[in-house]
Structure 1
Amino acid sequence: MNLANNKGNKTGYKIKIFLAVSVFLFLFFLSIFIYYGFIFKPAKILSKKYYSERKQFNETALKIKEYKKYPIKTFKIFFKKTLKNLNISKSNIITQNISLIVKPPINSGKDLKVLHVNFLKFNILISKKTRFDVIEKNLESEFERFVIPSEAPISYYLYDVKNNCLCIYVYDKTKLFLKVLFIVKGLDNSGFESVKEYVNSPKIALDIDDIGYDTLYVNKLTSLHTPITFAIFPYAPYSKEIDLELHKAGYETILHIPMEPVNTLLFPGDGALYIHMNKKEIRRKILTDIGMLPFIDGANNHEGSMFTSDRKKICDAISVFKDKKMFFMDSFTDIDSYAYRCAIEKGLPSARRDVFLDDKPSVGYIENQIKIAAYLANKFKRVVVIGHPRPDTVKVLMREIPKLKKAGYMFVPLCEFLR
């Protein structure tokens, strides 16, 4: 009896194993049938072109990986390769390591620290035949190939002064790490016959403010065939006409934007910024002012001793100029101005006025201010000067600019002096 039961149990056990294996095999072959019948698609024979493209993709991916790890280092390497592609001789390139200290406004207290700015500067001499648009396209295409896909926090600002110079500023987030200056060779343009001459020469960036109410003095100054920056009011009667003509002639133009002065009885001008404005109003006003002058590359303040000394308001304004890729020059109408510092902090190419030529209406005073500007240019190799289209100022400039050029001083567009 027990023997019969054991045989029955063994038989039942074997049947269960058989059924389990059968079910497993059925499901296995069913899944293969479904995969090959409805899901699987036969692989195509891959061409040599595919493998070539795949190799390029892997190389690009590797470079992108390098950008993510060392964005500044790899960008400098890429830029040197770009110069090689442009067939620029090494003898026409001089690099400099620039260190800059930006002190806080006098009355800011201890809430602001000294800023340290360090960057590498490429000084590159090119011939008249080298077109700026070719350089720009090379830079833009390489930027799109590597920087944009890698999502590296690198951005650049580019300012093209027709037939004179091309200024490029490259930032990692808000930190300037590379400045590139292409200078056109020839006495009819920048005045430099060698890149060494440019680096060693005392240079003056002359900005003429308050442009737009008269064409007479503009025509006189342009007859000197000297790089001069013209700061144009947004709503003056001849602003648009002058902006267009200066652009055609290859001069640098910027927006001369009125800002609220300490003396609130003074009217700064149409399109002015006031400290009672909120962030949206400031932005709207600036964009409207910019829209009046289509050929400008930057901006500086007219008056503005009150507005530029209000840290929040001027920083709101600087943010708009940054969005529009425009540089900013602090006219420095007040010792407590935050404009230049704010631009540096936000990573916007910027400069600050060193000398006012004619804040006192006297020929003797203007002549003395030019001597001061020449002294500073000799000492620091650069000076930013502001003057105005007034009879005495233009009279002195017409006489002194040729003398300064003959003595070895070089006049350059403002974009060359940005930090």
Structure 2
Amino acid sequence: MAKHYKRAKDRRRRGIVFALLLLAVAAAVYAVALKNQGRYAKLAEPEATPAEVAASSPAPEPKTREWVVVSADEGLPAAQQAAEAPKAQPPVCGYPRADGTPLLAIVIDDGGSQMKLTRRVAALDIPTTWAIMPYRQYSKETAQLAASKSVPYILHLPMQAQVDKDSETGKFIIGRGMSADEVRAKTEKALDSLPGVAGVNNHRGSRATESRELMAPFMQVLKSRGLVFVDSRTTGKSVAYDEARKAGVPALQNRGFLDNSTDKAEIAKRFDELVRNAQKRGALLIICHFRPATVAFLEELNARYKNLPVRFVTVPEMLALTDNGVPKKK
């Protein structure tokens, strides 16, 4: 009886151990199955299409538009370039921003012969420099108007042109055949007739400005009075700018006439070309005149000049911000 009871007890123990082993195996199998479930699910998922990938990707940030300065022969048409150019900030005392904005100086020639057009120009906000002829009917009145508007003005001094004969001295103040003393005396007298001038530029003068013998004594007068010089460049052989630099006279050169045409549309087209040249060079001085079509163009320009990709400056400002017209190195 005791032996039978012992065998039954041993069988129960083996059954319990066996059951525990089965439970352990089952638990292990279940754990492995759970671990692989995510892996199997990923393998079962279909690959996303390119469109789905693009849709699920974050949208790229918009790129900032870069403004590229182009030469006069490349890039956008002038009208489109002016319309799309970033707006310039309001000027501070007429000086450009420190970001390298190109400079553009406009000299308006032939002042002193009339007042109607001059008063219209005086009403403009565009920084300009007036060049006033000596000994004309309204020379002093023009200078007084410029001073009242804080517009710098220079003496527009008649000089001999290639078409002028040496005997026609009434057409010019400085010309071939004059002695150095005569050049100095005539220059001094013309300057005295128009007090307050900041400097001088030549009226005509395609012959006189080719002569170093004439330009050297002329520059001596400007140096002694602390005045500046603008070479109108009526001839490609002019030595006036070189003589000014040699004498230590601050000087600029004309880089383009704006109004060789009396057609306002042609003037506007020429202006767009000169603006692109200013962008290319970094600084540009141009010349126009007190003429009906020119003044009408300037009045239209007055409404939009602050939105152009150049900063308008006067001749004194141009000299202060450049090395005789060449942009200063940063």
Confirm or deny a common fold (TM above 0.5). Answer: yes
> 1:397 is paired with a residue of what secondary structure?
helix
Q: What amino acid does structure 2 have at the position aligned with 1:262?
A: Q
Residue 237 (structure 1) aligned with residue 127 (structure 2): no
Q: How many angstroms does 1:241 deviate by? A: 1.2
CA, structure 1 residues 366+202, in 2 after alignment: closer, same or farther (shift >3 Å)?
same
Pair 1:217–1:190, CA change in 2 (3 A) = farther
Counterpart among 287, 295, 302 of residue 386 in structure 1 = 287
- For 1:174-205, what per-residue CA distance to the aligned partner results, in whole angstroms no more than 9, with x for missing partners? xxxxxxxxxxxx9476355xx6x245222210
Q: Which has the higher contact order (CA 8 A, sep 6+)?
A: 2
Equivalent residues of 1:259, 1:268 under 8 A apart: no
Residue 272 of structure 2 aligns with which residue?
371
For residues 30-45 of structure 1, the aligned pairs below 5 Å read none
* Structure 1 residue aligned with 2:159: 259
Q: Provide, for residues 337-387 of structure 1, a one-character-per-residue CA deviation record: whole Å limited to 9, x for no partner.
A: 000011111211000000101123332331222012110121222110100
For residue 209 of structure 1, give the secondary structure of its aligned residue in structure 2. Answer: strand
How far, CA to CA, are the matches of 1:269 and 1:239 in structure 2? 18
Q: Which residue is equivalent to 2:57?
A: none
Q: 1:227: how far off? A: 1.4
Alignment of 1:237-386 (within 5 A): 237-264=137-164, 272-386=173-287
Q: Is the 8 A contact 1:258 1:268 kept in 2?
A: no
Deviates more, 1:385-394 or 1:197-206: 197-206
Give 1:286's aligned amino acid: T
The whole-number CA distance in structure 1 between the counterparts of 2:104 and 2:271 is 10
Aligned twin of 2:81 = none
Distance 1:360 1:189, change over 3 A: same
- Note closer, same or farther for the CA distance 1:198–1:190 as it changes in structure 2 (3 Å cut): farther
**Partner in structure 2 of residue 40 of structure 1:** none
Q: How far 1:404 sits from its partner (Å)? A: 2.9
Q: Report matched runs for 1:170-185 at 5 Å.
A: none
Q: Aligned equivalents of 1:305 and 1:417: distance in 2?
A: 25
What TM-score results when the alignment is normalised by the length of structure 1?
A: 0.52
- C-alpha change, 1:190 and 1:348, in structure 2 (3 Å) is same
Q: Unmatched 5+ residue regions in structure 2?
A: 1-88, 325-330
- With normalisation by structure 2, the TM-score equals 0.65
Q: 1:400 to 1:415 in 2, by over 3 A?
A: same
1:405 is the counterpart of 2:306: yes
What amino acid does structure 2 have at the position aligned with 1:274? G
Q: Distance in 2 between matches of 1:306 and 1:341?
A: 16
Alpha carbons of 1:191 and 1:294: their partners in 2 closer, same or farther (altered >3 Å)? Answer: closer
Specify every segment of 5 or more residues in structure 1 that has no aligned partner in the other structure, as ranges: 1-185
Quick check: which has more Rg, 1 or 2?
Answer: 2
1:361 & 1:269 partners in 2: Cα distance? 27
- The answer to whether the 8 A contact 2:94-2:127 is kept is no
Tell me by how many angstroms 1:405 deviates. 1.8
**Residues 296 and 198 of structure 1: is their aligned pair in 2 closer, same or farther, counting only changes over 3 Å?**
farther
Which residue identity does 1:341 align to in structure 2? Answer: D
The answer for the alignment partner of 2:58 in structure 1 is none
- SS at structure 2 position matched to 1:272: coil
- Please give the secondary structure, in 2, of the residue aligned with 1:386: strand
Aligned position for 1:209: 109
How many residues were matched structurally? 231
Kept in 2, the 8 Å contact 1:244–1:295? The answer is: no
Report the 3-state secondary structure (helix = DSSP H, G, I; strand = E; otherwise coil) of the residue aligned with 2:209.
coil
Q: How does 1:218-237 map to 2 (within 5 A)?
A: 218-237=118-137
Aligned to 2:237, what secondary structure does the other structure show? Answer: coil
In 2, distance between residues paired with 1:219 and 1:231? 15
Which of 93, 114, 127 is the equivalent residue of 1:190? 93
2:26 counterpart residue number: none
Q: State the secondary structure of the residue aligned to 2:156.
A: strand
What is the DSSP-based 3-state SS (H/G/I as helix, E as strand, rest coil) of the residue aligned with 2:304? Answer: helix
Aligned-residue CA RMSD in angstroms?
2.1
232-241 or 396-405, which moves further after superposition? 396-405
Quick one: distance in 1 between partners of 2:149 and 2:90? 16
Q: Cα distance, 1:228 vs. partner?
A: 0.7
Alpha-carbon distance change, 263 to 199 in structure 1, aligned in 2, over 3 angstroms: farther
User: Structure 2 counterpart of 1:299, which letter?
Assistant: V
Q: How does 1:73-112 map to 2 (within 5 A)?
A: none
After superposition, the Cα gap between the structure-2 partners of 1:340 and 1:298, relative to the gap in structure 1 and judged at 3 Å, is same
Q: 1:223 is aligned with what amino acid?
A: A
Deviations 1:45-96 (A, max 9, x none): xxxxxxxxxxxxxxxxxxxxxxxxxxxxxxxxxxxxxxxxxxxxxxxxxxxx
Q: 1:288 to 1:270 in 2, by over 3 A?
A: farther
Residues 398 and 256 (structure 1), Cα distance of their counterparts in 2 relative to 1, 3 Å cut: same
Which residue in the other structure is 1:178 paired with? none
2:100 corresponding residue in structure 1: 200
Contact 1:190 1:227 in 2 (8 A): no
Which amino acid in structure 2 is aligned with residue 226 of structure 1? Answer: I
Separation of aligned partners in 1, 2:222 and 2:289: 24
Query: Using a 3 Å threshold, how does the CA distance of structure 1 residues 372 and 384 change in structure 2: closer, same or farther?
Result: same
